[in-house]
Amino acid sequence: MSIRSAVVLAAGEGERLRPLTTHRPKPMLPAATKPILEHVFDALVDAGITEITVVVGYGRTHVQSHFGSTYRDTALDYVVQDKQLGSGHALLAAEADISEPRLVVNGDQLVAQRIVTDVREAHADNDAIATLGLIRDAAVEDYGGVIRDDDGHVSEIVERPRDDRTYHLNAGVYAIDPTLFDYLRGPEPHLNEYSLVDGITNAIAADEAVRGTVSDGIWIDATYPWDLLDVTATLFESDDGVESRVSSNAQVHESATLIEPLVIAPDCVVGPGAVVGPNVALGENVTVAANAVVERSVVDIDSRIGANATLVDCVTGRRVRIGAGSTVVGGPGDVRVGSSIHEDEPLGAVIADRVRDGGGVTYAPGTVVGPNADLAAGTRVAGVIDGGTEVQ
């Protein structure tokens, strides 16, 4: 029987993506000009899925208000995970709605439609309790590595493997039988989290059949804010990604210069003498004023880039105001995330929701500015600026 329904796990915050996730969950961050979750829905719908259950939690109103009850004529139902206790716990929240095989997909990672299709078709042709989507020749050390034999049998799943065995990457696309829920509940959760992978490992230990199918196509994850620049660049480069386009509703002055690849969403304004691109995504209702330069950047909706400003290697949140003559000089830079320092990352600055600068502000490479910060004219900022801070 062909699977027609899917569960999308979209309840997590994405703590390492702060301050961009201070007010919304990771699945709603932009990949080019669309939320990550919208790309996931597109992959499912294009693969023939007609019903989607979305497990929401942190920032759930952002998801529900954005998508409503349908997406591209596909029904959306929502289930709430009240506490974020892992992917297995999130799936258990949807258990009451699952009585037959379903697809399960991570809602905060981009996957090609062909991976979804391959998993769906492979599960229909075997008697496994779970079928995993796998990618060959991918770096697995920061994700999940899968040991699979020539017959497709999965013998082991290792999180962040460090040995020299040959692994496939776990792409976060699964087809499951409802009997898998018995293995999601035990043994005791790791670090108080119920992981879907741990549940599948429990099933393997009980000699249940678990299969893996290997696919080609994009698989992209954003772990840190600057990864959104790589996500957008990869989408431009991939056959499964996005094409350069300028919305018919955008206003681009005849003297502006656009350098592909780029995406300019509806209601954007690009002023005279401005230079936009390459590798730029302007969300809806963004203004780039006269003679401003925006390069290798993701600028989220309702933001304003002042005249003669320069943004290079920059990620902004929503409703950001960059004043006239301000400069994000570009990376590489050292970026502090919590207590860790990430050296030489390709980041000019992360500027979170509703930051305002008074113009003539210089952002040192690797600067991270929290939401609602107010930067006075002519200041120089570096390091981490906490949300709500006034910098004089």
Q: What is the pLDDT of residue 191?
A: 55
The answer to whether residues 109 and 78 belong to one domain is yes
**Are the C-beta atoms of 278 and 262 separated by less than 8 Å?**
yes
Q: What string of pLDDT tens digits covers the 392 residues of the chain?
A: 588 899 999 988 888 899 999 989 999 999 999 999 999 999 999 999 999 999 998 889 999 999 999 999 999 999 988 877 778 878 888 877 788 899 999 999 999 999 999 999 999 888 899 999 999 866 777 788 888 888 888 988 888 888 878 888 899 999 999 888 888 876 555 556 678 888 888 888 889 999 999 998 888 888 889 999 999 999 998 877 788 999 999 999 999 999 999 999 999 999 999 999 999 999 999 999 999 999 999 999 999 999 999 999 999 999 999 999 999 999 898 898 877 889 999 999 999 999 999 999 999 999 999 999 999 999 999 999 999 999 98
CA distance 90 to 386: 31
Same-domain status, 199 and 67:
yes
Which CATH number belongs to the domain containing residue 253 in this structure? 2.160.10.10
Residue 233 lies in a domain: no
Structure confidence at residue 107 (pLDDT): 92
- pLDDT reported for residue 269: 97
Q: 350 in a domain, yes or no? A: yes
* 237 in any annotated domain: no
Query: Exposed/middle/buried for 131, CB within 10 Å: 0-12, 13-18, 19+?
Result: buried
With respect to residue 203, please indicate whether it lies within any of the assigned structural domains.
yes
Regarding whether 383 and 288 lie in a shared domain, the answer is yes
Last residue of a domain, one of 164, 186, 221: 221
> Do 171 and 95 fall within a single domain?
yes
Burial class of residue 149 (count of CB atoms within 10 Å of its CB; 0-12, 13-18, 19+): exposed
Predicted TM-score (pTM) of the model is 0.90
Q: How many Å is the Cα radius of gyration of the chain? A: 22
Which CATH number do you get for residue 98? 3.90.550.10
Residue 78's pLDDT is 94
The pLDDT, as a whole number, for residue 12 is 85
Q: What is the pLDDT of residue 152?
A: 86
| In a shared domain, residues 214 and 265 | no
What's the Cα-to-Cα distance from 164 to each of 20, 161, 211, 213, rounded to whole Å? 35, 8, 22, 21
Q: Which amino acid would we find at residue 251? A: Q
In a domain, 201, yes or no: yes
Same domain, 211 and 265: no
- Which amino acid is residue 98, in one-letter code? I
Based on the fold, state whether residues 210 and 252 are members of the same structural domain: no
Q: Is residue 231 part of a domain?
A: no
Please tell me the total count of domains within the chain. Answer: 2
Q: Can you give the residue range of the structural domain that contains 278?
A: 244-391
Residues 382 and 336 in one domain: yes
- Asked if 208 and 314 sit in the same domain, the reply is no
In a domain, 226, yes or no: no
Domain boundary among 190, 221, 252: 221
Structure tokens at 133: 């989507």
Neighbours of 203 (CB within 10 A): 23
* Domain-located, residue 93: yes
- CA–CA distance, 142 with 388 (Å, rounded to integer): 33
Same domain for 279 and 162, yes or no, is no
Query: Over the range 86-124, which residues count as b (16 or more CB within 10 Å of their CB) and which as e?
Result: bbbbbbbbbeeebeebbbbbbbbbbbbbbbbbbbbbbbe
Task: Based on the fold, state whether residues 61 and 180 are members of the same structural domain.
Answer: yes
Same domain, 189 and 272: no
Structural domain ending residue among the three candidates 171, 189, 221: 221
Q: What is the pLDDT of residue 1?
A: 56
